[in-house]
Chain A
Amino acid sequence: MIASKGDKLMKKVIEIQHLSKSFGTHEVLKDIDFSVNKGEVVCVIGSSGSGKSTLLRCINLLETPSGGQIIYQGENILDNKHNINSYRTKLGMVFQSFNLFNNFDVLTNCLVGQTKVLKRSKGEAEKVAMKYLKVVGMDRYVNAKPRQLSGGQKQRVAIARALSMEPDVMLFDEPTSALDPEMVGEVLKVMKELAETGLTMLIVTHEMEFAREVSDRVVFMDKGVIVEEGSPEQIFNNPQNERTKAFLKRTLK
């Protein structure tokens, strides 16, 4: 069943080796080995506090890893000489709490990174922004300020903002966890459509149905380690590890 994705599995977009992270004496990530391949959709599941957000935040260096390597385009970006900011433009991040820039309207939220960081011209940036605002169905709201939008709308704009940078991989940290139940669907639908376009996505989620549907691979984390990973069929229908079984039993009731 992975055969159709065979060519995609060839190229690793990001590879993590022996990644560890401690807050003080609290070891939150322990010796994580993990990679995301081009065009792949990977969902990370696990109970709260298992280190999923920290893993994502270490990947785009919002947290500084305590040890290990992050390999991007053949180089370890944790080497001192590396330009963190240009690396970050290659990763799109979608936060649980949206984090749209409050001082800008919807369109400018999608422009500012393009013009100020990527140095695209205003005209080009607008074209790109409108393209992705259309993808998430928010193109009619270009003039709205974040405070005038619902949670689901904000999250869709946040996705468009990240896509506008045209990153190599999109990171989602529980994108629907802060939403009212009736708005979860609209965001998941957008993400499903994105997954179908072949976008590389790494998604932390508690939406098990969604994970089963869109993932090429599911990763189960517990207490700072990757306990088990495999195709959605393997993880959801035939988990090997006791901890995975217990977690799924709890969540799938």
Chain B
Amino acid sequence: MSIDWIISIVTDNWEMFLRGAWMTLLVAIVGTIFGALIGLLIGVINTIPKPDRGIKRFFLKFINAILAIYVEFFRGTPMIVQAMVIYYGSAQAFDLDLNRTFAAILVVSINTGAYMTEIVRGGIVSVEKGQFEAAQAIGMNHWKTMIHVVLPQVARNILPATGNQFVMNIKDSSVLNVISVTELYFQTKSIAGNNFRYFESFFVACVLYLIMTITISRILRYFEKRLDGPQNYQMMDDLTQIEGKKS
């Protein structure tokens, strides 16, 4: 009977399952955060205004071309292959024995960064042109405009897509078992390899994946609401109230 098997598998192996789930979460969280930072950085670099001529123009074009290749490469190849190439490639080419957890986070970050670059580009495009112009008109340079006016709006715009990427990373990090990262899929495979109850073991993994993805989605939605702030504003009846509020 499957139910009995599931119960005994969980009682015997709960520690391994939890350690696997924790590794999955760690790789997904850190990878998504670094990926988002990579995407934001590249998105901003893409918007640096190019002078009409000169060395700076050439330099910016060169950088942008390299970044475009990076995005194409990592969006155009499967993460499972990227993991193999990065892990074994660095071992072979540079005689570098990467820590497996580090390698996993590296792969997910770089991969997510490529997707986030596109998401950030869309997020910047969706900020009205008038926002840039108003910032320039009060004397803000490109960086101030970006940091104070554009990026906060971009962050809000891309939050749903970033959350989506996070959920995908929780699921897709399972491919990292090919470089023996002890995430949830890898752990489940070991457990099932010992008890030969493949269905029951992976059923438990399924439930754990679902708990993680659903919880994360809910938390992100809550944050989105919080970020939008209250629906109503408070009227100030006199100046003293504001002074009071500010101090």
Contact = CB atoms under 8 A, between A and B. Distances in A.
A169 interface: no
B184 to A, nearest CB: 38
Contacts of A190: none
Interface stretch (A110-118, A199-207, A234-242): A110-118
B156 to A, nearest CB: 7
Contact of A141 (B131, B148, B149, B235): B235
Chain B interface, DSSP helix/strand/loop, else mixed: helix
A145 interface: yes
Interface residues of B, number: 28
Contacts, number: 86
B233 A144 contact: yes
B43 to A, nearest CB: 17
Most buried by A among B128, B153, B156, B239: B239
B152 interface: yes
Interface stretch (A13-21, A26-34, A36-44, A87-95): A87-95
Contacts of A117: 138-140, 144
Which size class do A's interface residues fall under?
35 or more
A142 interface: yes
B97 interface: no
Contacts of B152: 103
B237 A85 contact: no
Interface in B141-191: 141, 144, 148-149, 152-153, 156
Interface string A36-65: 000000000000000000000000101000
B134 interface: yes
A161 B130 CA distance: 15
A88 B141 CA distance: 10
A86 interface: yes
A248 interface: no
A99 B149 CA distance: 11
A91 B137 contact: yes
A101 B149 contact: yes
A221 interface: no
A144 B141 CA distance: 26
Most buried by B among A86, A91, A142: A142
Interface in B217-234: 229, 232-234
A99 B139 contact: no
Contacts of A112: 138, 148-149
Contacts of A143: 233-236
A100 interface: yes
Contacts of B134: 93, 95, 99-101, 158
Given A62-B133, A99-B131, A86 B139 contact: yes
Contacts of A165: 138-139
Contact of A142 (B130, B137, B242): B242
A148 B232 contact: yes
A211 B131 CA distance: 28
Contacts of A99: 128, 130-131, 133-134
Given A130-B239, A145-B233, A88 B137 contact: yes
Nearest to B151: A103
Nearest to B232: A148
Nearest to A144: B233
A101 B147 CA distance: 13
Contacts of B53: none
Nearest to A118: B139
B88 to A, nearest CB: 45
Nearest to B242: A142
A88 B130 CA distance: 16
B239 A116 contact: no
A140 B236 contact: yes
A105 B138 contact: no
A93 B130 CA distance: 12
Contact of A93 (B137, B229, B233): B137
Interface of B: 128, 130-131, 133-141, 144, 148-149, 152-153, 156, 229, 232-237, 239, 242, 246
Given A139-B236, A143-B234, A162-B138, 8 more contacts: A62-B133, A88-B136, A103-B152, A105-B233, A107-B242, A117-B139, A126-B246, A143-B233
30 contacts: A85-B139, A87-B139, A88-B136, A89-B138, A89-B139, A91-B137, A93-B134, A95-B130, A98-B130, A99-B128, A99-B134, A100-B134, A102-B131, A103-B153, A103-B156, A105-B233, A113-B138, A113-B140, A116-B144, A117-B144, A118-B139, A126-B246, A139-B239, A141-B235, A145-B229, A145-B233, A148-B233, A162-B137, A165-B138, A165-B139
